Amino acid sequence: MTQKELIGKLANKLQWDESNSSDFLETISNILNEQLSENNIISIDNFGTFSTQKYQEYILVDSETGERYLMPPEVVVLFEPYTGDVFEPVDHSFNISFEADDSLKGKINSAFQNFEPTLINEGVEFPGIQVVSSQQPKTEIAIPIEPIADAEPTPPVETKVVGDKENLSKPVLQTDIDLRQKSRSRKSSRVLIPVLGGVAIVMATLFFFNGVASRKGVNSGKRRNN
């Protein structure tokens, strides 16, 4: 679904013109962006919960050269879909997923924007920091994570699978993406719905609008009966 198609559906549901629907959608996206940037939990009835989680810094070891890199912390956005009213077995081959765009990632990681992966000199040690190899295709490695303060409930610790690394001369971008995201990738079809400002909330918005439209219909019926 494109942004234009979404706006058309919202306009049809709420009986608004497309200009007002576009402005309303942008406002909702901006509010959610702000809340996630402040590390707040966003719970949407009958849809799911958005939250943020901090991944601690770790040491990445290049499996071919032996070079070690200190990787900076990162805050990521997590999404847990609502399944409370599902009475049939959930088909895990089809999932509603969330993926933040670069603008949102930049906002929630603004505290670490000046930190970059750093080559560690020989003999320098950092006790207590997790060490990860860049090439362990069948080994699951737990990256320590630190929950955002006052965030409840705390999402479960995720296990990171370290994949192959093609370009060892540039360990920063390729490996960082693999370590943060590869464990969440599945061999299944996913619905990735990017919307204004980097927040994938299309389905949540439609749930909300359906509720608004339904309440309007009920109230109109009551007035006609009276």
Better-scored residue on pLDDT, 63 or 202: 63
Phi, psi for 122 (deg, rounded to 5): -60, 140
pLDDT at 202: 47
- Going by pLDDT thresholds of 50, 70 and 90, the confidence category of residue 41 is very high
Query: Per-residue pLDDT averaged across 59-66, rounded?
Result: 91
Question: What is the four-CA torsion angle of 111, 113, 114, 120, rounded to 10 degrees?
Answer: 100
Its pTM stands at 0.52
pLDDT at 224: 53
Strand partners, 191: 96
> pLDDT at residue 57 above 90?
yes
* E-strand stretches of 114-192: 118-120, 131-133, 140-142, 145-147, 159-161, 189-192
Each residue's pLDDT tens digit, 169-222: 444 434 444 445 444 444 333 333 333 333 344 445 555 555 444 454 545 555
Structure tokens at 103: 């603008």
pLDDT at 61: 94
Query: Per-residue pLDDT averaged across 19-35, rounded?
Result: 90
For residue 160, give Cα distances in angstroms to 138, 152, 176, 213. 11, 22, 11, 42
Indicate the residue type of 137.
P
Query: Per-residue pLDDT averaged across 115-136, rounded?
Result: 88
Query: Per-residue pLDDT averaged across 49-65, rounded?
Result: 92
> pLDDT at residue 121 above 60?
yes
C-beta neighbour count of 146 within 10 angstroms: 11
